[in-house]
Structure 1
Amino acid sequence: MSQGKVKAGAETVRILGIDPGSRATGYGVIDQQGNGLTFVTCGVIRTSEKKPFPERLEEIYNGIGEVIGAYKPQLVGVEDIFTAINPRSALKLGHARGVLILAARQHGLLLEEYSPTVVKQAVAGYGQAPKEQVQQMVRVLLKLVASPSHDAADALAVAICRASHSRNLLR
């Protein structure tokens, strides 16, 4: 996605990207104005592995709810499940994605899901790009002085992907 000049009077759209995980859920918030992207915040919601799984899901739900409440995004992008993991992990990831999607929908947000390949294509230009390349491209596209953690970088990549697909969705 190019960082072109911002047009005068262009509407600013706040976008939340989410990289789901049952132990670590990355989130990234950016503003899009015209073709320009601006970094707002990013981080990771970490769950306590000592707690039962339903309580960890509640931590994820509450954590993303706090992010939504604090930063008030208009659009949300969530990374879809990839198939190269074991069935038990896929089920747990599916539960985590479910509470994240529910939280976004309960806040009335427009949500889209993207496969990891589509996210990597949008950010790095190559659908099989390694995590390090995605992390570096996020840093470059958002003009960050340091690279965010892998989870946060993946979430920012989802937000960038959402931005590149959002032009015709807002009315």
Structure 2
Amino acid sequence: MRVMGVDPGLTRCGIALVESGRGRQVTALDVDVVRTPADMDLAKRLNSVYDAACHWMDVHDPEVVAIERVFAQHQVSTAMGTAQAGGVIALAASQRGVPVRFHTPSEVKAAVTGNGRADKAQVTAMVTRILGLQQAPRPADAADALALAICHCWRAPMIERMARAEAAAADQKRRYEARLAELNRSRLKKAGSQ
């Protein structure tokens, strides 16, 4: 599976591409950080991030895009910019028919380091080790984008199995309720004819 991982942001947006192999084997194919100046107009910054995402998807043809889910940050303005950047990337993926999956920072940290509260240095060290890189990816946004892609590669099979199990359970429940309703109708009909 070819996964494009995205650590969204307006000032620095990490984008990476990894490919999964057998078991937990993953290979880094490309990584970069899109930068936009803080004094640039917001619409132009978002357009730069969007253009970069479009270019990456057109060149690398990922099967899925994994984006960090923004759920809370201390600075509201930072969270807004991060969410906006993630939104334009999700839009670019949707326009190309590429599925988008969101992972929380703690899910990514737990998948890569085994600790959902790991710091950036630990994530970077494990990404470097998992991918067998000679040097640690810099800046941290690049390592985070790689970590997101790795996380999705490792979690996707489990997520798919769970979705199939939930769908099968929902189908079984629907069939059970239909049978129960039919039995009740039969009983009412029988009681009415007596």
TM-score range, shorter chain: 0.7 to 0.9
Q: Is 43-52 or 54-63 further displaced after alignment? A: 43-52
Instruction: Pick one of 52, 63, 75 that aligns with 2:64.
Output: 75
Is the CA contact (8 Å cut-off) linking 1:82 and 1:116 kept in structure 2?
A: no
* 3-state SS, counterpart of residue 57 of structure 1: helix
Q: Tell me if 1:26 matches 2:14.
A: yes
Q: Tell me if 1:167 matches 2:157.
A: yes
The structure with higher relative contact order (CA 8 Å, sep 6+) is: 1
Residue 174 of structure 2 is matched in structure 1 by none
* 3-state SS, counterpart of residue 58 of structure 1: helix
Q: Percent identity?
A: 33
Deviations 1:9-65 (A, max 9, x none): xxxx11110000011100111111222211101010111333201000000000111
| Greater gyration radius | 2
Q: Is 48-57 or 124-133 further displaced after alignment? A: 48-57
Report the Cα offset of residue 112 of structure 1: 0.7
Q: Tell me if 1:152 matches 2:142.
A: yes
Q: Is 118-127 or 31-40 further displaced after alignment? A: 31-40
Deviations 1:135-159 (A, max 9, x none): 0000000000000010010000000
Q: How many residues were matched structurally?
A: 158
* 3-state SS, counterpart of residue 104 of structure 1: helix
Consecutive unaligned residues of structure 1, counting only runs of 5 or more, are 1-12
Pairwise mapping of residues 1-171 of structure 1 onto structure 2 (< 5 A)?
13-35=1-23, 36-149=25-138, 150-167=140-157, 169=160
Consecutive unaligned residues of structure 2, counting only runs of 5 or more, are 162-194
Report the Cα offset of residue 89 of structure 1: 1.8
Structure 1 ranges of 4+ moved more than 6 A = none
* 3-state SS, counterpart of residue 19 of structure 2: strand
* 3-state SS, counterpart of residue 69 of structure 1: helix
Report the Cα offset of residue 87 of structure 1: 1.5
Give the RMSD, CA atoms, in angstroms: 1.4
Q: Is 133-142 or 68-77 further displaced after alignment? A: 68-77
